[in-house]
Amino acid sequence: MILKFIALLLLCQLAGEVFVVWSGLPVPGPVLGMALLFVGLAFRGRVPVGLGRVVDGLLSHLSLLFVPAGVGVMQHIAMLHDEWLAISVALVVSTVLTIAVTGLLMKFLMRRMEHQEGEG
């Protein structure tokens, strides 16, 4: 019964959106919906087969869903033209730094933990 799980996803999103409007939190409603579904799965202890199927179908084409919004850059072409240097340098520097820092830190922390376990 696939319809049931589609309704579940929409219901989680709706609950998230309603909560955001009600509380005034600056958090995206669908993210609260995701947190809600996550908590539900943790309680349930497993992913229902039908839900897994619906989600895998939806997420296998996730990148298609960014396209309409991405096309919206055509409205900002003038701005991009003015600020291309700031944007491109920021993207490169920040991406390189983020990859290097997270990778190194993760490796360092894991090694330290495994070291401690080996001693203890």
- Residues forming the site for another protein (CB under 8 A): 6, 9-10, 12-13, 16, 26-31, 33-38, 41-42, 47, 51-52, 54-55, 58-59, 62-76, 79-80, 83, 85-87, 89-107, 109-110, 113
- The three-state DSSP-derived secondary structure of 1-12 is CHHHHHHHHHHH
Residue 118: CB minimum distance to another protein, A:
14
Task: Give the span between the Cα atoms of 78 and 71, in whole angstroms.
Answer: 14
CB of 19 to another protein, least distance (A): 13
Nearer to another protein, 72 or 120 (CB): 72
Residues contacting residue 15 through CB under 8 Å, at least 6 positions apart: 32, 33, 36
Q: In whole angstroms, give the CA distance from residue 117 to residue 9.
A: 41
- The single residue listed with the structure tokens 């600020």 is 83
CB of 68 to another protein, least distance (A): 3
